[in-house]
Chains A and B, each alone.
Chain A
Amino acid sequence: MNILFFAALVGYFVASVFQFVGASMKKEALRKIAHIVFLISFVLHTAFMTWRGIEAHRVPLSNQFEFASAFAWAAVVMGFVLYKRLKQEWVMTVAMPVAYLVLSYAAFQPMEIKEMMPALRSTWFVLHIGSAAFSYASFAIAGGLGVSYLVQLKKGKSETDAKMKQIDYMGYRLICLGFLLLTVVIFSGAIWAEQAWSAWWTWDPKETWALITWIFYAIYLHQRLRLKWQGKRMAWLAIIAVILVAFTFVGVNLLLPGLHSYAV
């Protein structure tokens, strides 16, 4: 059944290329194809995750492969929800490559289904890791919107342009959502850690990096709300923040061993 996963991966790639070419050349037909391929890929991806969950007798979120797959899935869900609400093509132009890149990372991880270790068998498992997947997806799309904003700016679009304002605002809203979810991740993790290891905070590298990311986004939000920073500066901050998120997700597991090392 791993064929479903690879079909979804190829589908996301094809959709991203069609969307990008369609957006660059303003070809509506290509965009439509991209949307259809993206939707089919999402269905295949969902089917794969459902099958894996049934096969493993648990929610498939327990290792790097499963988490990356859920992260990509969450990015697609967010892409569809935003597109349905805003009806703006730039949403899909960002969401498609984000989903493809994250799922590509998953493809390089060990895929075999393993028994879940006792420490992960907890009622907090789904809330903690599920929130993390959606939080990271929000931050990733916000970072993608930051890139999109800077590219448009480079192409000569004005910061006062309605579309640019909308991209900027949507990036901020996604960061608000991601920040709220990251808070849920940290708190649910703290409660879970207290139940499993007796200490709610141990300065484990994953915890510390989640805190670093949280503080960085807190600074972003304060700059935005109080100093009214917008546009280019916020786009750059959103991109830098995604690098922190990526390090928390991948780098910590590879370079800084700790209590979360089983997530590899």
Chain B
Amino acid sequence: MKKFLRFFRSMKFGMILLVLVMLLSLAGSLIPQQESAMHYVRAYGSQAAQVMIALGVTDIFHTWYFYALEILLCLNLTLCSILRFPRTRKAGREWLSRAEKAEGEHPLTSEQREKLCAYLSARHYRLYETAGGKVYSKNAAGFYGSFLTHLSILLVLLFGSLVLMTPDIQDRTVMPGSDFILEDGTVITCESFHIQDDTGKLDYASVLTMKSADGSQEKRQEIRVNEPMRFGEYKVYQQTYGTAGRVKITNHANGAEEVMFLTDPCFLSIDGRNGVYFQALYPGFIQDEEGNYTLITSTANSYTDPVYSIQSIADGMSTSVLAFPDEELRIGDISFTFLSPAEYPGLRIKHVSSWLFGGLYFSFGLMVVALYLCFFAVPVYVKVQPDAFTVLSPKNQQGLMIDLGALLDEKEQEE
């Protein structure tokens, strides 16, 4: 059992886990993920596809074994970190005491000693006067580098998983000028949406207003890609956009007017029998010499010559009609005026705890600082005796030795 636990917390086991995560990631990047079963049958053949689906390699990052690897890595890191901490705390004192007892390795003249002491002081080395000579130390915080790095990886995995798993996400399309209500009563109103800015640059921006259920809080903001709106624990993103048809319906009997957006096929009627059945909005058309229309379905060139495909239904008779913007169609007392299409935004509304994001970003920052401490704040102790000096450090100090060598050579050259 002891042997097993020792292996479980060992670096060797950590390396094995990292290699496995790396290999699964490699497979996950080379095999298309989360495609339909038919996609794999076409690409790899029926039998191979069956095996792949059964093994979960078609959605490898959400398989039980990938999660198991992450959990094992977390446990390995936790045990490593916990066990390392007491040693880390003692390390500073131990190295200082080792430096106090160390014998000088590199001989020094008195002038060189002065120069060395001045050099170390100028580089903010901390001085300890000991019985055996002066001990200069620097970067004691570096002892915590490795511990903090492992701790921060653990925190990144923990907060990262929580952030990925917990948010409540919904995608909504909203027409400019309209609103919708979220489950808790928060109202989101889209005032306007545009694809290009004033200079003609692509922009995709929506002006939104969010209001809390009790009306106590309200916020208005223009959102665009990279600039989501934060409102309480909600975050609203400019996710996508679309083009919708518009029709003005006038009831001549009472003078009422209403503008409606047309996205999906629908039947527009007051009495349920007579009216207009909207089929689709096409971005353009080509008319030949005989007056026949060919409708363009590609939206690559935007809606240059929009045309509405509709069915006019009156007294049980249905007629296919193409309607162009500003064209009016009257059926009984109701007239339908088709307007120029309008763009609308697709919003993503995410409800996620702010402290989880705070935790994740803190872990990111901690890891960068920890890696800096690990690599570039290596603890170093320089013991300077009257006739010699020595450098002690838990890691290679070749860089410092090069600098000190140059410093002392310089002295020799001057001499």
Contacts and interface: CB of A to CB of B under 8 A. Distances in A.
Interface of A: 86, 115, 117-119, 121-122, 165-166, 169, 173, 176-177, 179-180, 183-184, 187, 190-192, 194-201, 203, 205, 208-209, 211-212, 215-216, 218-219, 222-223, 225-226, 252, 256
Contacts of B30: 256
Interface stretch (B95-103, B220-228, B381-389): B220-228
Interface string B12-24: 0011001101100
A195 B227 CA distance: 7
Given A169-B398, A200-B163, A183 B61 contact: no
Given A212-B25, A222-B15, A195 B226 contact: yes
A195 B28 CA distance: 25
A117 B164 contact: no
Secondary structure at the A interface, as helix, strand, loop or mixed, is helix
Nearest to B357: A194
Interface in B344-393: 348, 350, 357, 360-361, 364, 367-368, 371-372, 375-376
B348 A222 contact: no
Nearest to A225: B395
A184 B368 contact: yes
A208 B375 contact: no
Which of B26, B61, B226, B396 has the most chain A CB atoms inside 10 A of its CB?
B226
Nearest to B205: A118
Contact of A195 (B228, B395, B399): B228
Contacts of B235: 198
Of all A-B residue pairs in the complex, the 9 with the closest CB atoms, nearest first, are: A176-B375, A187-B364, A208-B29, A122-B226, A215-B22, A169-B398, A118-B225, A198-B237, A180-B371
Contacts of A208: 25, 28-29
Nearest to B202: A118
B18 A218 contact: yes
9 contacts: A115-B202, A166-B402, A180-B371, A180-B376, A183-B371, A187-B368, A200-B360, A225-B395, A256-B29
Contact of A118 (B19, B203, B372, B376): B203
Interface string B202-235: 1110000000000000000000111110000001
A225 B11 CA distance: 11
Contact of B375 (A180, A196, A216, A223): A180
Interface of B: 11, 14-15, 18-19, 21-22, 25-26, 28-30, 33, 61, 160, 163-164, 169, 201-204, 224-228, 235, 237, 239, 348, 350, 357, 360-361, 364, 367-368, 371-372, 375-376, 395-396, 398-399, 402
A198 B66 CA distance: 23
A211 B30 CA distance: 14
Given A118-B203, A183-B368, A198-B348, A212 B26 contact: yes
Contacts of A177: 375
B405 to A, nearest CB: 11
A187 B363 CA distance: 10
A191 B29 contact: no
B225 A119 contact: yes
A211 B11 contact: no
B172 to A, nearest CB: 13
Given A209-B29, A219-B15, A225-B395, A119 B226 contact: yes
A86 B33 CA distance: 48
Contacts of A212: 22, 25-26, 29
Contact of B225 (A196, A200, A225): A196
Contacts of B226: 118-119, 121-122, 192, 195-196
Contact of A198 (B350, B364, B375): B350
A201 B164 contact: yes
A208 to B, nearest CB: 4
Contacts of B163: 200
B293 to A, nearest CB: 35
Contacts of B21: 215
A191 B402 CA distance: 39
A247 B19 CA distance: 18
Contacts of A205: 29
A187 B225 CA distance: 19
A176 B29 CA distance: 26
Contact of A165 (B33, B375, B398): B398
A191 B363 CA distance: 12
Contacts of B164: 199-201
Contacts of A86: 402
Which of B225, B237, B367 has the most chain A CB atoms inside 10 A of its CB?
B225
B395 A173 contact: no
A196 B240 CA distance: 11
A183 B360 CA distance: 14
Contacts of A226: 11
A212 B11 CA distance: 19
B239 to A, nearest CB: 7
Contacts of A222: 11, 14-15
Contacts of A218: 18
Given A183-B367, A196-B226, A219-B19, 13 more contacts: A169-B399, A176-B376, A180-B368, A180-B375, A195-B228, A198-B235, A203-B28, A203-B33, A212-B25, A215-B18, A219-B15, A225-B395, A252-B29
